[in-house]
Chain A
């Protein structure tokens, strides 16, 4: 959410729309309440500031939200963090969308960082799998790890293709 504010300040409802656009059908499952609760928490944490717009009712969705310096800092850190194996595809996807929208980082470079990490893990898993006797239980588990990492790497290839072509259609 912070990253969605990195490009420019936004009203709560605009923020919702941005998230909705980035997430497609998945975004529909998010309710508005969640967004305002999160914004409230981020404000308390000093990462976000809000401002009343003159002449509008004092409701959370009418406030204009923006990032503090600390908020910007947090976003930059988040973009280059590597967070796997928790297979948080949504989070990684949002990183790329936000990085491209706010021109904070090159999405392809973020994909490269992630790919390197996954390849290292694949290397570890592959080495361990090669050391296991054929058809052992351990080999089967490691095959699962290898296959999952391969699937993740294939998705990264798809991400790379998209962001090389110039990114989001929106």
Chain B
């Protein structure tokens, strides 16, 4: 197994993903280079269809690139066997989707413990881990509710807890607030902020500027390619009073 010299969690090198051929060729991701440091929150933004979801799928091993390399935790994953890739996804990556993708027949706590059970841990350990996570996201009292009895924001928090259940190297979230109202979005942002403070690496594809604004770094994509990078951490622009018009 080859190991990179980099300390980055994620690394994409000249990543390409093409669909179709000839006239109908679409370059969904076009010669993309990326490094994500451990503990970093990265937002990938751009208009819909710019390739940010495809990029996320390639990074998480849900899809294979047409060319280039993907490294996760020092291992090259784009050439792994299906079996190894499935294992890697189970242990190293947590996915969060716009439409939550919870199992409707399972309660909140059962949804969260499922990946732990699939990873071969004992039912007892799985339940303990799931309860712990629900506690962390402030939904311990909803543990035995079915998803249908939860609000959108609560469902998404359960989905985030599920993504964290096997202590992944990285959480990949694809438009996590796309279906949420303003206050539920705030809850998810607070949760991401907590994850960030405990050092969880997080990559979020989003066109929600509130998520982009709270990330450490934001990259913009257009037509599958990298167009701009902004570091938002640290350099605050000024005083809040000026924002509300109390100051010049």
Contacts and interface: CB of A to CB of B under 8 A. Distances in A.
A126 B210 contact: yes
A13 B244 CA distance: 39
Contacts of A124: 236-238, 240, 243
Given A130-B190, A130-B193, A85 B212 contact: no
Contacts of A128: 240
Contact of B232 (A120, A146, A157): A120
Interface residues of A, number: 29
A interface secondary structure, majority: helix
Contacts, number: 62
Contacts of A5: none
B189 A141 contact: no
B230 interface: yes
B interface, size bucket = 20 to 34
B49 to A, nearest CB: 13
A119 B236 contact: no
Given A117-B237, A119-B232, A120-B235, A126 B243 contact: no
Contact of B230 (A116, A121, A161): A116
Nearest to A157: B47
Contacts of B238: 121, 124
A119 B189 CA distance: 15
Contacts of A164: 222
B182 interface: yes
A150 B210 contact: yes
A126 B214 contact: yes
Interface string A124-154: 1111111000100000010111110110010
A123 interface: yes
Nearest to B242: A85
A119 B213 contact: yes
A119 B212 contact: yes
B218 interface: yes
A119 B230 contact: yes
A112 interface: yes
B214 A123 contact: yes
Interface of B: 47, 182-183, 186, 189-190, 193, 209-210, 212-214, 218, 222, 228, 230, 232, 235-238, 240, 242-245
Enumerate the 10 nearest inter-chain pairs by beta-carbon distance, A residue then B residue, closest first.
Answer: A122-B213, A120-B237, A123-B213, A153-B209, A119-B213, A145-B243, A124-B236, A123-B232, A116-B230, A121-B237
